[in-house]
Chains A and B, each alone.
Chain A
Amino acid sequence: AQRVTQPEKLLSVFKGAPVELKCNYSYSGSPELFWYVQYSRQRLQLLLRHISRESIKGFTADLNKGETSFHLKKPFAQEEDSAMYYCALQYSSASKIIFGSGTRLSIRP
């Protein structure tokens, strides 16, 4: 079965430090992968998606098919990055989207 694993429930780093939120998936094909973010008192929203290959708010994520990973990275964390981050997988168009358990990122001043 398809599965998304986020091993860290909580990640705390200092402002200005690099950030890496881990995401691993189990699926033998070529899935579409996403990162969603939920800021305090706001709705869950899309941060970035693999297919777009873009950088949003300084975050990037690279799909590594060999390691079945899609880690989210940012070189210099900012306080406003504090939020809950979810990795998600969609294994084909018109299929359900599966989420990981989420990582709470806390940026210390």
Chain B
Amino acid sequence: GAGVSQSPSNKVTEKGKDVELRCDPISGHTALYWYRQSLGQGLEFLIYFQGNSAPDKSGLPSDRFSAERTGGSVSTLTIQRTQQEDSAVYLCASSSGVGTDTQYFGPGTRLTVL
């Protein structure tokens, strides 16, 4: 079946603009994660959705970052007033949400803020 997909694959924007990144998880997966992957920084947890529970937003670096998950499926990560330090690869992952289970990662969106 189809894996996790993300769009766009690449996004170049100007400092100060808003961007939206999309994630389509594996069908039926109730858990969805967003991470940021920067050179030398590893994988930085951003936000976690699990079913109908309130999302764990503890990793969002500032109030310029927000995320939604509509209908328990597709998720959108929004970065407002982008800064150059926001440049990174943004990864989405989903899992079945049952117990401690395997995460399946998308290909990522490479964001470049000029």
- Residue numbers of A with Cβ under 8 A of B are 6, 9, 32, 36, 43-46, 49, 51, 86, 90, 92-102
With beta carbons under 8 angstroms apart, the residue of B53, B99, B105 that contacts A93 is B99
Residues of B within 8 A of A (CB): 3, 31, 33, 35, 40-45, 48, 50, 53, 56, 58-59, 91, 93, 97-100, 102-108
Partner of B45, one of A45, A93, A96, A101: A96
Q: Tell me the bound Cα distance from A88 to B64 in angstroms.
A: 27
Contact B103 A97 (CB under 8 A): yes
Residues on the A chain within 8 Å of B108, using CB = 43
Inter-chain contact B91/A32, CB cutoff 8 Å: no
A-B contact count (CB 8 A): 56
Alpha-carbon distance A46/B42, docked complex (angstroms): 16
A99-B45 contact, Cβ under 8 Å, with A43-B105, A46-B102, A94-B50: yes
B97 — which chain A residues lie within 8 A by C-beta?
Answer: 94
Chain B residues lying within 8 Å of A9, measured Cβ to Cβ, are 40
Q: How far is it, in angstroms, between the C-alpha of A99 and the C-alpha of B108 when the chains are bound?
A: 16
Asked if A99 contacts B35 (CB within 8 A), the reply is yes
CB nearest to A87 among chain B residues? B42
A-B contact pairs, 21 of them (CB 8 A): A32-B100, A36-B103, A44-B91, A44-B93, A44-B105, A45-B104, A51-B100, A86-B43, A90-B100, A92-B100, A93-B99, A93-B100, A94-B97, A96-B48, A96-B58, A99-B44, A100-B43, A101-B40, A101-B41, A102-B42, A102-B43
Q: Is the CB of B45 within 8 A of A97?
A: yes
Closest-CB distance, A74 to chain B (whole angstroms) = 21
Q: Which residues of chain B are within 8 angstroms of A90 by Cβ–Cβ distance?
A: 100
**Are A99 and B99 CB-contacts (below 8 A) given A43-B105, A44-B91, A44-B105?**
no
Q: How far is the CB of A83 from chain B (nearest CB, A)?
A: 14
Of the candidates A9, A43, A95, the one having the most CB atoms from chain B within 10 angstroms of its own CB is: A43
Partner of A86, one of B42, B98, B104: B42
The smallest beta-carbon distance between B28 and chain A, in angstroms, is: 16
Q: Which residue of A lies closest to B91 (CB)?
A: A44
